[in-house]
Chains A and B, each alone.
Chain A
Amino acid sequence: MSIFNMTIHELHSALKGKQISSLEATSAMLERIEAVEPHIGSFITVTSEQALAAAKSADQLIARGECDLLTGIPLAIKDIFLTEGIRTTCGSRILHNFIPPYSATSWEKLRDRGAVLLGKLNQDEFAMGSSNESSAYGVTRNPWDTTCIPGGSSGGSAAAVAARQATATLGTDTGGSIRQPASHCGCVGLKPTYGRVSRYGVIAYASSLDQVGPLTRDVTDCAVMLGALAGHDPKDSTSVDTPVPNYSAALPQGVKGLRIGLPKEYFIDGLDPDVQKAMNAAIETYRRLGAEFVDISLPHTDYAVATYYLIATAEASSNLARYDGVRFGHRAEADGLLEMYTRSRSEGFGSEVKRRIMLGTYALSSGYYDAYYVKAQKVRTLIMNDFISAFANVDVMLTPVAPTPAFKIGEKINDPLQMYLSDIFTIPVNLAGTCAMSIPAGFSASGLPIGLQLIGKPFGEETILRAGFAFEQATEWHTRKATI
């Protein structure tokens, strides 16, 4: 098998058994990146030299018999994670020259276990988007059909896994930004419960919604990555101090007797027929495996997108106030201070970021604060309560990830509202703060991947991983590869 097609667990076995060295694996991956990158555009920065050096260090560890599950595994991470000494742009022109003085905890955790960094992945600017078209560093193309978007905002993270440019990747999810691209690119993507993974060193978009998570080739790898990432971080006071379970051990427990909820608001008339077909087949598979289905309702689903676009933009307008040209990032030539702020921001931010800052500023402005921002926070409570009530009767929920397979590049770029509505099934999970995962569950008639969303209770990652693993064992969707 080609090295670049391997999962983390396959490559780990080969490294441990000394059939392959990390240097060979990393070199193979760098060659692969060079070969397919002109067609895909997953990367903003490729860190070849550092990667080869890290691979050599990993090989020394392995020679000493110290081969952790991630030792010597070549990974790539979204360009939203700070990496000390390596340029970090967050997909924005305003950070075109930014070299972070420290690293994100999530990346440090992977690095400390011996993982090799191949580079920094393309994304929507400041993680604002569902298509990766808002990056200042060019669009990313879907490896299954290069005329289609890969999804966003972690579009580079999903495309790199699908095009086999990295063994696994790291993304962030504020309203679906891991799950929606994972669904569109046919990989596994998990958004952990809010507080499960540290956000320290992750460039902030909407702080009450942002969460870090892995994108992988299968559920087994997803459990390995989550185990490495999860845990309390004294540098992130919103990270939660609950014990980290052994996620891998939970996988083989099966789904017999598992109660799976089907929220009726997620199976709407507008659902693409291919997506509906894939969901029906998945329900059949789970039934055969012994799971029980329960019809449930999340009555405030229809209000989630509106709630999200007030809360997320309000938080963004506040978070992005730091980009003023004073301490780091782009600075425009100007005679006075105010002019410098305004010019630096106007030259540095792209259109979608400006639009969201404007919306958030409006929602927080005098006279509108209660009507928009506080109102949205109240509706957020109702949406959270929907999940609490529904989870009293079920262990997990099964829904589509997105209403359609990947759309065409350019199709929705001029209609922001239509673009926002493509996140209708992923956004409620962020508002409720709970966990969810996208796993491959079929293909459209035109050959585009379709993802299935498993939503878990807060800190219920073990259950969704176990349910995902059972599905994966019974199907072969995750083994299909984009021909690139």
Chain B
Amino acid sequence: MEMTVTDVEYVARLARLELSLKEKELFAGQMGAILGYVEKLKGLNTDGIVPTSHAVPMENSFREDITSPSIGLEKALANAPDRAGSFFAVPKVIE
């Protein structure tokens, strides 16, 4: 299957990735080859087959609604690249 640099750019934008031109060309070729390989699934008749999302059939998993302590503010923020008081700080969102 053919995958162009423009296709790669579109998917990269959706995935929040920024690729160099070299990476885009490399991925176009490699993704094209992989998508070409998975084309074989199209030859298989799956009419009326129910899709499987999990191997173990499971209904909703309920538990008692009991509160218990969580990890707390300091632990939760310990890995924050930047913080402002009790918040995660990020670059300006609105200009």
Contact = CB atoms under 8 A, between A and B. Distances in A.
What is the interface of chain B mostly: helix, strand, loop, or mixed?
Answer: loop
Interface in B65-84: 71, 75-76, 78-82
Contacts of B52: 377-378, 380-381, 384
B75 A101 contact: yes
A265 to B, nearest CB: 14
A307 B40 CA distance: 10
B55 A431 contact: yes
Nearest to A353: B17
B52 to A, nearest CB: 4
A317 interface: yes
What is the interface of chain A mostly: helix, strand, loop, or mixed?
Answer: helix
Contacts of A376: 38, 41
Interface string A228-257: 000000100110100000000000000000
A261 B11 CA distance: 43
B51 A354 contact: no
Given A306-B40, A361-B11, A377-B53, A327 B79 contact: yes
Contact of A310 (B16, B19, B38): B38
A416 B61 CA distance: 38
A381 B50 contact: yes
A336 B91 contact: yes
Interface string A150-170: 000000000000000000000
A330 B81 CA distance: 7
Nearest to B14: A361
B46 A379 contact: yes
A44 interface: no
A382 B52 CA distance: 9
Contacts of B11: 358, 361-362, 365
A383 B95 CA distance: 52
B56 to A, nearest CB: 5
Contacts of A338: 16
Interface string B10-53: 01101111110001000100110111011011101010011111
Nearest to A375: B41
A378 B46 contact: yes
A90 to B, nearest CB: 14
Contact of B38 (A309, A342, A345): A309
Given A238-B58, A328-B80, A433-B56, 17 more contacts: A98-B79, A101-B78, A193-B56, A194-B55, A300-B44, A305-B37, A306-B38, A309-B38, A335-B91, A335-B92, A340-B91, A342-B17, A354-B17, A361-B11, A379-B41, A433-B55, A458-B56
